[in-house]
Structure 1
């Protein structure tokens, strides 16, 4: 297994070196680096960096996760969707020139930080996942139009524009792009607008003078001309496949960023934004891929934006395995169900040769539920339970995919799924069998 780049030698060197002398704070800030809420340091020209996220030198993207991403890309491609995985760099990777001398105390090295980013997108690309390098574009931002806000970790509208332009080049290079009808989009400037920033508010408590506001000239992207006057909405149930769906975090959801708008302008394609602020790495992606919208109208391109510090292995293999099952074409074996309680349905598994790579798809049949408890019993009396949950920020589609790896037993005989809502005749259980056409990521 090829290890991810990290900075152990640099860390050792930093421990032996004398601490850097911090410059006086421009905003009379004190004890920022030891703040329990958000340890940070103040850089040049009022640019602030988070210690735990921005100065971190190791961002995990291990080989098993890369293989899962390849399986996800293959599963989406089997249904006609091209995955574009966008790794958003940290502010320190994109704007290292503004770091203060004390960044050395945290073993931050700008060259290694750049290599860490390149290593991740390089290994994803080598596995067949389209992973554009947007760090180069963001690092090229001019000083008068920085890529990130000074007192916030999100990108500015300029950063969003530069990222969108780089991603558009990747999309335009795909063979399927040429056959799509193009439209003309124009981005116009609006009035200067301020946005609320949790980071700025947290840091302000440690500073006497007012920190730079998170504000910028807002933008709106408008459709100028379309080859089809009746442009179909992605969720209208039209037979025409959606062109681009964007999922991700607050980087994609921020109104000041206008990221989706810039993507439309540079690709000439309609973009529907499915991002979830506060959803972390899986909020937007899981919400969309497990939705009826995706199942009934798969897009031509699916852009998944995720900051580099959001570890895809943080919650184990199940979240990624669920995405692979939801994206693929293998959920075809309907299981006969019986109502076993007000909120429960059961299925007889006797005679089925279930493997640890198989997945159970439980669909309540209506929106609303945020939790499904999977209970599996074996012929030898063993019972195993696992719960799949959706946070309050995620879409409650009532559709849950449970990989069997963590609960598998050779002689499973009975399955019961208990939702947090009443079941009905529309409630179904389906077996998603492992496919030999997908890459083995175990």
Structure 2
């Protein structure tokens, strides 16, 4: 006897296959040979067969059949996607990196904590203060959307463990999780449903309270919060990066979660009269540098713009997408810009989940190794701090 779940699976599978059969036959309905009146395709040497096959592939791509079919079965029946995504409830998707370790051993967290501390120590040795902005995991803020999914124990404690280690150090590391949770409780969607990243509104909340922590720490500095303004742009559908782990298109586009809705934002400088002036401060060099991941690099979220507006200070954004937080930082520390024009403040945006992911960049690993060797020989002289 088939169990109820297996009966459902079998029925779904048969229905999908029958539907695919109808679609495939429909793709042949409008077929006509490509040969002209004077030059018919020869069925003997295979010309006609190749022409039919080409038309079938164009109208009903065979190579996508298996991918779309199994994606539809996995998602609708088993509530699963490709490795890399965790399927939650009500169309919410999460990256596996927020639930599981990216290495076999939890020691990866210890190594990355030491690396984060090494970056802070290096900047402090150079006399440059650091603000560490730890981005809480989406799975932490929307844990009820996970359903039966649960992060492994090491991931549950990761955020507080990161802050606990860094806050005693000479670094500004504000706990911004409560502010995002409060914003969510008041009706703000702070993370996208089908994307790894935050919404522009969530990025703005994060930037506002991060700016408050920075201004409090460096109270002697000038913060002109009227210097920038943010404008709302178009509202459009946004297909999040996690939808790539549910390859349902082109055959089953309506089976998966609906795309998110995103309202674009842009931030610009304004002059004293309140009008936009793109070149007004063009000759002034920014003394604040933002280093981070796609949370800062992707203009869709406008996080650097929100940070400028709430800080009232311009900044240089050297963030990068798809590289994690360590690689952009070490690339900046190796750059001529850093050596020749050291900043007065470095802001490091760091999603918590990357503590549990191995560092892959050989250049980044080499930087940490070189630093350890230099420390064995003696530290470099410091520079005056922002304070």
Runs (4+) of structure 1 exceeding 6 A deviation are 57-61, 323-326
Question: Which of 170, 194, 200 is equivalent to 1:128?
Answer: 170
The corresponding residue for 1:364 is none
The corresponding residue for 2:93 is 48
Structure with greater Cα Rg: 2
Unpaired runs of at least 5, structure 1: 1-24, 327-355, 360-404, 406-432
Bigger relative CO (Cα 8 Å, ≥ 6 apart): 2
Report how many residues are paired. Answer: 297
Q: Tell me, in whole angstroms, the C-alpha distance in 2 between the residues paired with 1:77 and 1:107.
A: 34
The corresponding residue for 1:172 is 215
TM-superposed deviation, 1:203: 2.1
The corresponding residue for 1:158 is 201
TM-superposed deviation, 1:140: 2.0
Question: Which of 319, 325, 329 is equivalent to 2:364?
Answer: 319
Residue aligned with 1:252, SS = helix
The corresponding residue for 1:276 is 320
Q: Tell me, in whole angstroms, the C-alpha distance in 1 between the residues paired with 2:333 and 2:213.
A: 22
Question: Which of 337, 344, 364 is equivalent to 1:293?
Answer: 337
Normalising to structure 1: TM-score of the pair? 0.57
Q: Tell me, in whole angstroms, the C-alpha distance in 2 between the residues paired with 1:279 and 1:246.
A: 15
Aligned CA distance change for structure 1 residues 216 and 306 (closer, same or farther; 3 Å): same
Q: Tell me, in whole angstroms, the C-alpha distance in 1 between the residues paired with 2:369 and 2:93.
A: 38
Q: What pairs with 1:25-104 in structure 2 (closer than 5 Å)?
A: 29-33=76-80, 35-43=81-89, 45-50=90-95, 52-56=96-100, 62=109, 65-100=112-147, 102-103=148-149
Alpha-carbon displacement from aligned partner over 1:53-81 (angstroms, at most 9, x marks no partner):
23338986755654543443243234442
Normalising to structure 2: TM-score of the pair? 0.65
Conserved in 2, the CA contact under 8 Å of 1:80 and 1:298? Answer: no
Q: Tell me, in whole angstroms, the C-alpha distance in 1 between the residues paired with 2:163 and 2:82.
A: 32
Q: Does 1:216 align with 2:262?
A: yes
TM-superposed deviation, 1:225: 3.6
Conserved in 2, the CA contact under 8 Å of 1:32 and 1:203? Answer: no
Conserved in 1, the CA contact under 8 Å of 2:97 and 2:357? Answer: no
Unpaired runs of at least 5, structure 2: 1-71, 383-387
Q: Tell me, in whole angstroms, the C-alpha distance in 2 between the residues paired with 1:282 and 1:57.
A: 17
Q: Tell me, in whole angstroms, the C-alpha distance in 1 between the residues paired with 2:91 and 2:280.
A: 44
Q: Does 1:434 align with 2:381?
A: no
Q: What pairs with 1:228-267 in structure 2 (closer than 5 Å)?
A: 242-267=286-311
Alpha-carbon displacement from aligned partner over 1:102-125 (angstroms, at most 9, x marks no partner):
22xx4668xx96643112112111
Give the structure with the higher percent strand. Answer: 1
The corresponding residue for 2:180 is 138
The corresponding residue for 2:67 is none
The corresponding residue for 1:305 is 349
Aligned CA distance change for structure 1 residues 37 and 62 (closer, same or farther; 3 Å): closer
Residue aligned with 1:164, SS = helix
TM-superposed deviation, 1:256: 2.2
Alpha-carbon displacement from aligned partner over 1:235-277 (angstroms, at most 9, x marks no partner):
x7x7x5x332111111112222110011011110112221111
Aligned CA distance change for structure 1 residues 250 and 85 (closer, same or farther; 3 Å): same
Conserved in 1, the CA contact under 8 Å of 2:293 and 2:324? Answer: yes
Q: Tell me, in whole angstroms, the C-alpha distance in 2 between the residues paired with 1:28 and 1:260.
A: 36
Conserved in 1, the CA contact under 8 Å of 2:293 and 2:321? Answer: yes
Conserved in 1, the CA contact under 8 Å of 2:271 and 2:280? Answer: no
Give the structure with the higher percent helix. Answer: 2
Aligned CA distance change for structure 1 residues 138 and 250 (closer, same or farther; 3 Å): same
TM-superposed deviation, 1:157: 0.9
